[in-house]
Amino acid sequence: MTRTETPPPALVDSHCHLDFPDFDGDRTAMIDRARAAGVTRMVTICTKLGNEPSVRAIAEAHDGVFYAAGIHPMSVADEPAVTADTLIALAAHPKFVGIGETGLDYHYTADSARAQQASLRVHIDAARQTGLPLIIHARDADDDMARILSDEYRNGGPYTCVMHCFSSGAPLARAALELGFYLSMSGIAAFPRSTALREIFAAAPLDRILVETDSPYLAPPPHRGRRNEPGHVVHTAAVGAGLFNLSEADFATATSANFDRLFTRAAA
């Protein structure tokens, strides 16, 4: 009798940056490694609209690779102001699945806070009009982030959203969850000193959890300190499974279903 190996559970890397030059030498091989690890789909994120054609080309060239586009908050001061109409036009592409990443980052770029807030509201408007999920980056801006997300949702109209690479405090997590949004686990959640962050995820509803790499950044153990890639999401997912007392297969099934519910264009 021939022994058959059980395939790895199917996972989704909901946020990565496949266009970054870190992958120029082995991009296709890296995507193949991810598939071999069980990562069946991935969303590559464009952070500057001038790079959108190259990001789109990667998605077009690979089955199971989708893309999103926006202006990263750290780039707002250096990029032309985006309009909702521009984002809506990009969203016509069948592999375009989300708006962003956008958000607020006061860690390095607090001097552009007002411009970041204005840009965030434009992205929210585009997400609302297209029905595609908003992809949020938040760093050292929890109060303003919670205020703007809530204000736009309650006064401008509902929209869907994922708090990508969530590593903020519990109050922002609660504010996002109360609006029906999702929290995405990155490799940070697997770092040994991230106990408080793991507690935030463990207290969240399982049906609001996604997983991601944010590669080439934030590689989880045992790859920490080296280039991250989509296949490494399996290590973060293993940590997530432990938080919810699930098998890795059941956690993969749950987070993939969550991804399908949020990223409807990329649904399996």
Q: Where are the beta strands (DSSP E) in 157-238?
A: 161-163, 182-185, 209-211
Extents of the domains making up the chain: 11-266
Assess contact for 100 and 125: CB atoms under 8 A: no
**pLDDT confidence band for 2 (50 / 70 / 90):** very low
Q: Is 52 annotated as a binding residue?
A: no
Q: Is 111 annotated as a binding residue?
A: no
Distance CA 50, CA 132 (A): 21
CA distance 102 to 113: 13
Q: According to the model, what pLDDT value does residue 1 have?
A: 39
What single-letter amino acid sits at 18? L
Tens-digit pLDDT profile for residues 19-65 = 999 999 999 999 999 999 999 999 999 999 999 999 999 999 999 99
Q: Is the pLDDT of residue 202 over 60?
A: yes
Query: Is the per-residue pLDDT at 3 higher than 90?
Result: no
**Residue the block writes with tokens 């521009």:** 86
φ, ψ dihedrals at 64, nearest 5°: 80, 0
- pLDDT value at position 161? 98
101 marked ligand binding residue: yes
Percent of the chain surpassing pLDDT 90: 96
130-180 pLDDT per residue, tens: 999 999 999 999 999 999 999 999 999 999 999 999 999 999 999 999 999
CATH of domain 11-266: 3.20.20.140
| Rounded CA separation 209/257 (Å) | 10
pLDDT(185) > 70: yes
Strand partners, 167: none
Q: What is the mean pLDDT of the chain?
A: 96
With a cut of 90, say whether residue 268 has pLDDT above it.
no
Task: Classify residue 227 by its DSSP letter.
Answer: -
Residues 63-69 have a mean pLDDT of: 98
Which candidate, 220, 100, 226, 251, places its Cα nearest to that of 164? Answer: 100
- Res 4: pLDDT: 58
Q: Determine whether the annotation assigns residue 107 to a binding site.
A: no
Measured distance CA(99)–CA(132) in Å, rounded: 7
Q: What is the DSSP string of 124-138?
A: HHHHHHH-PPEEEEE
Residue 235 labelled as part of a binding site? no
